[in-house]
Amino acid sequence: MFESKYSWQAPAGTEDTARSLAEALSVSPLTAALLASRGIGSVEEAGMFLNGNLEMLHDPYLLLGMEKAVLRIQQAIENGEHILIYGDYDADGVSSTSLMIYFMRHLGVSYDIYIPHRSNEGYGLHNHALDWANQQGVSLVITVDTGISAVEQIAYANSLGIDVIVTDHHEPPEVLPDAYALINPKQPGCPYPFKGLAGVGVAYKLAQAVLKDPPVEWTEIVAIGTIADLMPLTGENRILVSRGLECMRHTSFQGIRALMEVSGISMGSVTSTNVAFGMAPRINASGRLDHAGSAVALLTTEDMDEAQRLSHALDELNKERQQVVEVIVQEAMMQLQGKMSGGTVPDVIVLAGEGWNVGVVGIVASKILERYYRPVIILGIDPETGMCKGSARSIPGLDIFEALTSCKELMEHYGGHPSAAGMSLKREQLPAFEEALNHYAASVLTADDFTPVTSTDGEWRLSDVPLSVIDEMEMLAPFGMANPVPKLIFRGTQLVELRKMGKEGKHLKLVVRQGGARIEAVAFGRGDLAELLEEGMTLDILGEVSVNEWNGSRKPQLMLQDMKITGPQVFDLRDSKEPWGEIQRIYDQVAPYMRLDHRHIAAVFNPRIESSPKMDLNDCTLWVYDSKAGISAFNDAANTYGKDHITTLFMVHVPDSADQLDMLLGSFKNLSNVFLLHSGRNKAEQLTIPSREQFKLLYVLLMRLAAEPIREQEALARLSQQSSSTLRMVTMMMDVFEELSFIERLDGNIVVIPKPPKRELSSSIHFSALGSLAEMEQHLVYAGTSQCTSWVISRLEGAS
């Protein structure tokens, strides 16, 4: 069984709401169901969701601390004070800082900006930066996307006579800083209705409070930060991002125009997906590998030449970032292998390395989480100071901010969200830190939490998604967090066509059919699965529908996210040159799709052909053919795990008999995948299913040849030639004659018994065994793929 990588979670209990919405809004059942699954239960709510505008934004003065902050800014304007905008180095921080620059320019005030260097300084407000601000004559600091945890630093600012207004959206700590004003919708006692603003969203609300109607084009910057920081695209965020994307399609910002160009984005059709995967990584690259100031300069420049230069520089940084990430991922994976005792992955993966660029450790954490589906913390170690700075990414079952809070005494600093966080700690605290996190996780997580889950928008048929419905679904855009691109399940589709595509065949293109409807499906980066699929297979698929436009033609297309093949599967990889290496390659390739770990795998081989396996998967179970029991355990893993966990079998050699094959298949009660890696026999050794006529002919030839005793090897060779049967076939037929007392074997000779007893061929055990073995080898060794795999499946189903 080819399992889906994820457990597909369908929305529950929205059918009645969807029906009423479809009727009231005159939309398709699918579009109505999508609205209902997003929590929209009435026509009024649907109107807000689909037609929200800037006039519907909440009053910024509902934010606790806003009135005090506005009065202080107005005082600074009147007194001609020098203001410092203190930002952060990620895309949200860059966007927030850029927005505040436009705000300061609009107000015509004296200002500076300060963004800490990710590697040299780390996250948050720093005393040395406040010292510098004091030297510059700053009397008011406005933080954006940071500050809510800066208790000591803001106390220091107060001692210098500097007022601090904090605008932030991160989770507030138990003790809040004594700032002049704190603006954060998540802080205790804040009545603001929408808690999901990004840092740039909070900064925008400050500008809105002061100006009442900020320039509409500022929403472009809000959109970039909100999308990049993975904030929910619901409520106010949806309004701000929608308006921002609309403005971006005819942007007057030179930097945004240049950034879209270098990202290969068509300005007239920019989407939230373009921002997330095209623009945001390049903005983030500045803070990861250099200094975020270059990204701020890009978003705030009014010079097109400078915008072009800066955008190309960010593009090069992003390419460098990709290479750096790949190197660290490889090193981290090797380190993790050393921690996986008995193949068991820790509940929380904590990895640290000298020289690992702290600017990309969050990306590395995401990649390792995707591979192992565990909370992951990756830290870069400064070899001189011993300080570790890192990033965490978590799974839904573990609130990583709460987990870090449980061991806060081990860290110098930490902060973040339930799914992502950052921290710094001393090197000597690493073992205790890892132990504490795993102890906490063990008390919170259950086995179900380690099964990857993806939310879907239910089961549909291909006929439910014509072009008109796909176009209609666009009214739900922009898509992102809390309003994801719809993922639809299509069950029981038949695979009609299959081919690799792209450079080096890295991608997969399928055509599937369901009833009278067909659709093309593309799976990026999944070309390696082509050899595991066959035309005619029945697939359950999960995908995102879109429109493929080419040369003026438009047709539905499915972007494949996941797939599943139900029932037992047999994969024909016969005649593999290095079968043991093939097992390792297949495991690495398909483990996520078959939900495998080493205890689920069995490899069986013939010890007479190969005394010991040549493979690295020492923790998988190894078995050898046994003439009495069918198979017997070969390694410690087989003895430890036993047979009940086995779902996937690698057959390295052909069984000695059909009975042995049935005992093999019957030994593993939960077997659903069989990979055939054995060699095909030489035609010179082929057996045929024996017939009476064949035995009669051979007996006549034997009587002529062996009137006197004859050396067996000579007789076999001559009989093989005269009967046109292989030497192996003739040898096994001699076993039948001997069992039936037609011949005797004496001292290497064959002696024909003149008057043998009358016995039926069918009474011979050797005759039945020869027939069964010939049939098995005919299907298992010599048949084509379709006939071979169908026959093994029938034996597998019979064994179960």
Q: What is the CATH classification number for the domain harbouring 237?
A: 3.90.1640.30
Q: Is 330 within the bounds of a domain?
A: no
Amino acid present at 670: N
Q: Is 771 within the bounds of a domain?
A: no
Tokens encoding 165: 């207004």
- Based on the fold, state whether residues 238 and 373 are members of the same structural domain: no
Could you tell me the CATH number of the domain that includes residue 702? 1.10.10
Q: Is 448 within the bounds of a domain?
A: no
- Based on the fold, state whether residues 672 and 716 are members of the same structural domain: no
Q: Is the peptide bond before 690 cis (omega within 30 degrees of 0)?
A: no
Query: Tokens 């005919």 label which residue?
Result: 778
- Based on the fold, state whether residues 394 and 477 are members of the same structural domain: no
pLDDT, tens digit (0-9, with 9 covering 90-100), for 182-220 = 999 999 999 999 999 999 999 999 999 999 999 999 999
- Based on the fold, state whether residues 112 and 212 are members of the same structural domain: yes
What is the crossing angle of helices 765-777 and 727-739, to 10°? Answer: 160
Could you tell me the CATH number of the domain that includes residue 406? 3.10.310.30
Q: Give me the pLDDT at residue 703, please.
A: 87
Q: Contact, 7 vs 453, CB < 8 A? A: yes
Q: What is the distance between the alpha carbons of residues 712 and 751, in angstroms, rounded to a whole number?
A: 9
Q: Contact, 749 vs 706, CB < 8 A? A: no
- Based on the fold, state whether residues 260 and 281 are members of the same structural domain: yes
Q: Give me the pLDDT at residue 595, please.
A: 67
CA angle 462, 467, 469 (to 5 degrees): 80
pLDDT, tens digit (0-9, with 9 covering 90-100), for 599-621 = 888 999 998 888 877 766 657 88
SS3 state of residue 203: helix
Q: Is 321 within the bounds of a domain?
A: no
Beta strands in 19-129 (DSSP E): 82-86, 110-114
Residues of the chain with pLDDT under 70: 1, 342-343, 592-595, 615-618, 680-681, 799-800
| Secondary structure percentages of the chain, helix, strand, coil, to 5 | 45, 20, 35
Q: Is the dihedral of CA 631, 636, 639, 643 positive or negative?
A: negative
Strand 138-144 and strand 82-86: the pairing is parallel
Q: Give me the pLDDT at residue 68, please.
A: 98
Q: Please name which of 14, 7, 149 lies closest in space to residue 454, comparing C-alpha atoms.
A: 7
Q: Is 208 within the bounds of a domain?
A: yes
- Based on the fold, state whether residues 90 and 135 are members of the same structural domain: yes
Strands lying side by side in the sheet with 110-114: 110-114, 82-86, 138-144, 163-167, 181-183
Q: Is the dihedral of CA 526, 531, 532, 538 positive or negative?
A: positive
- Based on the fold, state whether residues 542 and 585 are members of the same structural domain: no
- Based on the fold, state whether residues 643 and 585 are members of the same structural domain: yes
- Based on the fold, state whether residues 42 and 137 are members of the same structural domain: no
Q: Give me the pLDDT at residue 576, please.
A: 84
Q: Give me the pLDDT at residue 1, please.
A: 55
Task: Say how many domains are in the chain.
Answer: 5
- Based on the fold, state whether residues 137 and 262 are members of the same structural domain: yes
Tokens encoding 424: 């710094």
Q: Give me the pLDDT at residue 365, please.
A: 97
Amino acid present at 701: L
Q: Give me the pLDDT at residue 567, please.
A: 75
Q: Is 776 within the bounds of a domain?
A: no
Tokens encoding 405: 């809070």
Q: Is 446 within the bounds of a domain?
A: no
Tokens encoding 518: 């067909």
Could you tell me the CATH number of the domain that includes residue 511? 2.40.50.460
SS3 state of residue 523: strand
Q: Contact, 295 vs 314, CB < 8 A? A: yes
Q: Is 369 within the bounds of a domain?
A: yes
Q: Give me the pLDDT at residue 800, please.
A: 59
Q: What is the distance between the alpha carbons of residues 198 and 113, in angstroms, rounded to a whole number?
A: 19
- Based on the fold, state whether residues 585 and 540 are members of the same structural domain: no
Question: Residue 258 half-sphere exposure, CB side, CA atoms within 13 Å?
Answer: 25
Domain of 695, in residue numbers: 684-763
- Based on the fold, state whether residues 306 and 361 are members of the same structural domain: no
Q: What is the distance between the alpha carbons of residues 625 and 678, in angstroms, rounded to a whole number?
A: 14
Q: Any residues with CB less than 8 A from the CB of 504 and at least 6 apart, and which?
A: 527
